[in-house]
Amino acid sequence: MVGYGLYSIVVGVTDLVSAHQLELVVDLALMALGALLVVAAAFVRVQLPGGLALAIGLMLGLQTLAIHNTLHFYGSFVLAPQFARGVVALLLVALAFFGGRSASGGVGGTRR
């Protein structure tokens, strides 16, 4: 999740200085959601209650901005990159959920 958040920050900064400028608000939102996802990843790692829900909400926000950006860059909705981004987000959520359960003595884990 940290990588996804940092990627979003870099994309937002890059778009601010490049010729393919989106709206300023979109770039700022992309950077803000990316920064918050980095923080949420730390919450997920330490198993803070609500941390995974926060990360899911932030990834949904980033998915929404990705759809917006695709419409601006390509002029139409392109399904394949959005589907891939969604699969990566689902994989991250599954890894966080099941990793947290096994570390806390849940499914298949042992607690010391």
Q: Has residue 7 been placed in a domain?
A: yes
Q: Has residue 108 been placed in a domain?
A: no
Q: Has residue 112 been placed in a domain?
A: no
Question: H helices then E strands: how many in the chain?
Answer: 4, 0
61, amino acid identity:
G
pLDDT at 105: 60
Beta-sheet strands, E only, within the chain:
none
Q: Has residue 110 been placed in a domain?
A: no
The sign one gets for the Cα dihedral 102, 106, 107, 108 is positive
Q: Has residue 59 been placed in a domain?
A: yes
Q: Has residue 111 been placed in a domain?
A: no
pLDDT at 46: 92
Q: In which domain, by residue range, is 47 found?
A: 2-103
Tens digits of residue pLDDT in 45-68: 999 999 999 999 999 999 999 998
5, 35 Cβ separation under 8 angstroms: yes
pLDDT at 104: 61
pLDDT at 112: 45
In total, how many domains does the chain have? Answer: 1
Q: Has residue 9 been placed in a domain?
A: yes
Residues of the chain with pLDDT under 70: 102-112
**Neighbouring residues of 51: CB distance < 8 A, sequence distance ≥ 6:** 40, 43, 44
Q: Has residue 21 been placed in a domain?
A: yes
